[in-house]
Chains A and B, each alone.
Chain A
Amino acid sequence: MAIGIAAYSCYLPAARLTAAAYRKAWRTAPVGWEQKAVADLDEDALTLALSAASQVDPGRVDYLALVSMTLPYRRKVQAGLLAEGLGLDGQQFISEHTTSRRAGTEALIAQWALLTLSGGGTGLTVAAEVPDSPAMEDAGAPLGAGAVALVLAEGGEAARLDGFQSTCSEDPGLLFTPAGETRVRDVSVPDYAISQYLRSVRKAALPLMARLGTNPADYRFLVLNPPDPRQARSAAKAIGFSDEQWQAAWPYPGSADVGAAQPFLGLVQALDAAQPGDRILLVGHGSGSACDAISLTAGHRAGRGVLRAALAGGREIDYITYLKLCQGV
């Protein structure tokens, strides 16, 4: 049974902080982004998830997965709000994926397995982030808000899922938040960070391509979510991909880092530009570490301009307004 993505959507809040506004406040340029979306005072990861999911009509939903590192509660089932807000009947299996930037691909693989094991049905995976790191600190600067919804079903008119390979290891000290804290910490050893990241990407992507009998030239798009945007080129090179392949699925300049939703946003950019039959390699990495490589083939419902439409509908804000929206003043 061929499972795949039947439909997809994304939502970016209307307020946008530009790199120029950031530079005006700090006299330094941000790394890698030209604008990012900023959630309004009455938005959080759950409302963003609802805004993205309400743009797709999955019909009946059997499996509902919520993906976010920035949910409003540390301990509480929260996907119920998503189910009720979407008008579902409450008879869904729900799962919540919350502990790392790899949570999106983790949820996608889990839903894929559920649909395959159950012999059908419809899955809805929604990833959303509203940064909770202090806006004025270095950790908060590259973080943006956004959400992506993917509908999974048999057939996969937008993209077929062809195979995956996952890897895990124990890599302490990289982008972690101790229990009871909200700040993201890091031991700040760049050589260690990039060596662990590249090792994870290689261990996931290379065996997958070997098993599928594909090579980098067979793929039009490579979707990456490195913990530091400057590592994308190194990751692509490490598995034999060109700059053109990862840059064609690199929404970072328009979105900044949307956390666990980042791999899906890159996937949306790839699907928007894809022709039927184009292959996409989606690599989702989470520090700690785990990494998923997923191979997809675009279908006839790809190429819908979803990300471009979401990026187009914003209004610029100044840095003081940004701080207010982040409740930093």
Chain B
Amino acid sequence: MREFRLSGRGSVVASTWISAAGAPPEFAEQARLSGGYAVGMVAADEGPMITAQLVGFLEPPPPGTRVRAVIRRLYVEEGVVRYGFKFQAEGAEV
């Protein structure tokens, strides 16, 4: 087994919208303030399928939407900020 660094780029395979009522506790505040958020399954260009939040979308993006990974805050637990990757539309950061 060897370490392999993904490019962070991929395509949305499926996505849905998580409303405030459906958000897990750690994301409830985010959902309450934003009115919900998109999550999706992303096929990385190198093959693996990854499930993550999709940021910058006002509705679930259609399959095939090109995305790239970005590091964002996930939630705060016992004062510790947890960071992780989410995906945003490719080209959203100029």
Interface residues of A (CB under 8 A from B): 11, 14, 40-44, 46-47, 50-51, 54-55, 72-73, 81, 85, 87, 309-310, 312-313, 324-325, 327
Contacts and interface: CB of A to CB of B under 8 A. Distances in A.
Contacts of A14: 56, 92
A112 B6 CA distance: 33
B30 A42 contact: yes
Contacts of A51: 70, 93
Contact of B73 (A11, A43, A312): A43
B55 A42 contact: yes
A51 B73 CA distance: 13
26 contacts: A40-B55, A40-B72, A41-B30, A41-B34, A42-B30, A42-B53, A42-B74, A44-B81, A46-B83, A47-B70, A47-B71, A47-B83, A50-B70, A50-B71, A54-B70, A54-B93, A72-B81, A73-B81, A81-B71, A81-B83, A85-B71, A85-B83, A310-B94, A313-B93, A324-B33, A327-B33
Contacts of B93: 11, 51, 54-55, 313
A46 B70 CA distance: 12
Given A50-B71, A51-B70, A313 B34 contact: no
B61 to A, nearest CB: 15
B2 interface: no
Contacts of A73: 81
B94 A42 contact: no
Contacts of B5: 87
B66 interface: no
Contact of A44 (B33, B34, B53, B73): B73
Given A14-B92, A41-B33, A73-B81, 10 more contacts: A11-B93, A41-B30, A41-B34, A42-B30, A42-B73, A47-B73, A47-B83, A51-B70, A51-B93, A85-B83
B94 A309 contact: yes
Contacts of A40: 55-56, 72
A324 B34 contact: yes
A47 B73 CA distance: 8
Nearest to A85: B71
A81 B71 CA distance: 10
A312 B94 contact: yes
Contact of B72 (A42, A309, A313): A42
A40 B92 CA distance: 14
Interface centre among B5, B30, B81, by most chain A C-beta atoms within 10 angstroms, is B81
A43 B83 contact: no
A41, A43, A324 — which one has the most chain B CB atoms within 10 A of its CB? A41
Nearest to A52: B93
Nearest to B91: A313
Contacts of B86: 42
Nearest to A14: B56
Nearest to B85: A85
Interface string B64-78: 000000111110000
Given A40-B55, A50-B71, A313 B33 contact: no
Contacts of A327: 33
Contacts of B72: 40, 42-43, 47
A89 to B, nearest CB: 12
A147 to B, nearest CB: 11
Contacts of B30: 41-42
B38 to A, nearest CB: 12
A40 B86 CA distance: 13
Contacts of A42: 30, 53, 55, 72-74, 86
